[in-house]
Structure formats: structure tokens, C-alpha cells
Amino acid sequence: MKRTKGINPARLLQALFTALLAACTASSGLCREPSFDPADYDKIPPEYHDRVSTVVRFPTIYKKAPVPPFESSIRAYEFLLADLSLASKLARSAGISKYVVERQPEGLKVTDEAGIEGVLYPMYEEAGRRLYYAEGTCDARGLPKLTGKGVMEIAFHLTDDGKVENRVKIWVKLDSKVFGLLGKVLFPVVGRLVKGKTGALGSAAQTLSERFHSETEAMYETLEKSGLGTEEELARLKRFVEDSRAASRSPAPQLPGD
């Protein structure tokens, strides 16, 4: 099957926990460019202010994750971001990803066959922007179990040539400074592991959004046959499919003078 460019929201969650491993290789305890907008605190639920502040003010690592522009629509992309649990089911049913995102009374539980486990808390959403807070662990083979917290910002817009472009920022704070020392000893092992996991993230992220945009009906049918989707999720996805079909049949607006 042809690989296409895009971003898989379920895989984006993995970036937070992959960064826990990357933090081990950091040479210093603090990042040099926290780059967190103080105005965002006014948009975050008050009960999360202290937790978010601790991460973004004193992170073990700060990363900007470049995501190449991909063929999609803002409408399709926002639909996936609005329900990351459903997005992960679409990805699994299509054979794109094995990550599991499950709704909880508070937050989203994220698990992965490679040892990543955590909870993602959506902080706020606005046009073209999302902010998440996460707490999780990474128990990779051959490495100490890592525990930490993270903040992830996703900013996206439609480019002039009709593609969706993302800017992703990730702040991670490990719960123990000892991992900074372990990173120096384990650098050869951790470095290869992080590179490998980042590569997997990139390759899988090249499919879901663009395929969902171009093969919406086929992905709906695949999910329905897989048995992964609930009745409510299938009904919501079916409405999106029908609305997309109707929009594609609508005539283009007439310009003055036509």
C-alpha cells in the first residue's frame, strides 16, 4: 500500500513518551528555549496550572517536532483531533498503528506494545491549535523504567497550496535527575532506540490523516468490519462521511461576472 504524508494523532501521543527516552541523552538538565506562551495559562483548567507550569518552566528536554505538510483538509484533520480514541481505532483497523487510546472519566489512556503507557489530558482547543498535558512511563527492554510528565502543543494551518502544515512543541520533565546521568552511560543504546522509534513515528504518521481525507468511506467500512468502533463512534463517523459526500457534490460558488 502506498505511503502518504500526514500526521497520525494517535502516533502524536507517542512523541511525548518517546521524548522521555530522548531526555536521557540530554547533556544538561534544562532546555534553553522553553518558548511557552504565559497567556496560555488563562486557557488551562485551574487545577492543571501547577502541573503544566512545573513541566514548561523546568523541563528536562524541549523539542520541536517538524511535520511535513500533507494533503488533507482542516475539517478532516480536526475531526481526528477531536476524538483521538476513534482516530486510534481507525489507525488500528487500517493496519497503520498498534497504539491504543481509550477514554477515561478524566483524560485518555494511551498504551503501546513497546512499553509506553500514560494518560493524556486535553487542556484546551482553539482554531488551529491544541494543548495537551500527559503523565506516563516508558518501560523499554534493556533500559530503566522512565517516568515523567509532558506538555504538547500542536499548531496547524492550511497552506496556500491546500496542504495541512503542523508545528509541534514538546516539553518533558523526568521525575528523577538520575536519568540524566544514566543517559551518558546509555547514550549509544538510547540514541539508537530513540532514532528507531522516531523513525517508526514518522513512517506511521505519513498515513492516517491523508488516507482519512482521501478514503473516508473506505476507512469507515474497514472500521465497521473490524468491530473496534462503538455504535456511537460509527454513527458519528457515518455522519462525517455523509456530510463530506454532500459537500463534494455542492456546486462551486458563482463569482461576480460569471
How confident is the model over 41-53, as pLDDT tens digits? Answer: 889 999 999 999 9
Q: Provide the pairing of β-strand 163-174 with 100-103.
A: unpaired
DSSP 143: S
Amino acid at residue number 190: V
Structural domain boundaries in the chain: 9-245
- Grid coordinates in use for 49? 496550572
- Grid coordinates in use for 79? 475531526
What percent of the chain is modeled with pLDDT above 70? 67
pLDDT of residue 231: 96
Cβ count within 10 A of residue 2:
5
Rank 66-70, 95-99, 195-199 by mean pLDDT and report only the highest. Answer: 95-99
Residue-wise pLDDT tens digits, 190-235: 444 444 554 444 445 457 888 898 899 999 999 999 999 999 999 9
Average pLDDT of the segment spanning 20-30? 42
CA distances from 17 to 12, 94, 114, 145, 246 (A): 10, 23, 11, 12, 39
pLDDT of residue 177: 57
Q: Confidence band (pLDDT; 50, 70, 90) for 122?
A: very high
- Grid coordinates in use for 125? 482547543
Single pTM value for the model: 0.76
Q: What is the CATH class of 9-245?
A: alpha beta
For helices 231-249 and 216-226, give the axis angle rounded to 10 degrees.
160
Q: Answer whether residue 157 shows pLDDT above 60.
A: yes
pLDDT of residue 194: 44
**Contact status, residue 10 vs residue 41, Cβ threshold 8 Å:** no
